[in-house]
Amino acid sequence: MKIEEEIKSRFRNEYHKAFVNLIYTEKSLNYQFIQLIKKYGLTEPQYNILRILRGAHKAVSINYLKERMLDKSSDVSRIIDRLLNKGFVKREENPRDRRQKNIAITDNGLTALAEMDSCENKLDSLLKNLTAEEVSELNRLLDKIRE
């Protein structure tokens, strides 16, 4: 369905339409994603931290996590505290700087992520209306917007 029909609105020009369309689409996809991970008791930033930790294959600093977060305004320390309470991460002393703590994913965190890997397949299906070439073009255009 066209964005004009979806939100019952008109736009000043094609740039305005594209901007609103981008935001509306992102919110729609994000809502569907949140519904998938909510079943596991996680928020989107918590899921993001767990995925970063799994990919790091070692304990990392909070700054390392902040640099890689999708939402740069997230309070990483608070997210870590919540993941600690769930037993999904552990805090370790940094051997080079005792004031700094490193964060690592636990076996429980890895198990939870493994159970949620089906979410990844469901996420891919959210873009099923696009061909592989169209998805590549979409990625190219989104990268170009951020330049």
Domain spans of the chain? Answer: 1-38, 41-146
Tens digits of residue pLDDT in 64-84: 999 999 888 889 999 999 999
Per-residue pLDDT averaged across 89-114, rounded?
Answer: 89
Report residue 23's pLDDT band, with 50, 70 and 90 as the boundaries: very high
Whole-prediction pTM value?
A: 0.84
Q: How far is CA 131 from CA 1, 9, 113, in A?
A: 18, 28, 28
Contacts of 41 (CB under 8 A, 6+ apart): 86
The domain 41-146 is placed in CATH, from the list 1.10.10.10, 3.65.10.10, 1.10.240.10, 1.20.810.10, at 1.10.10.10
Confidence check: pLDDT of 110 > 90: yes
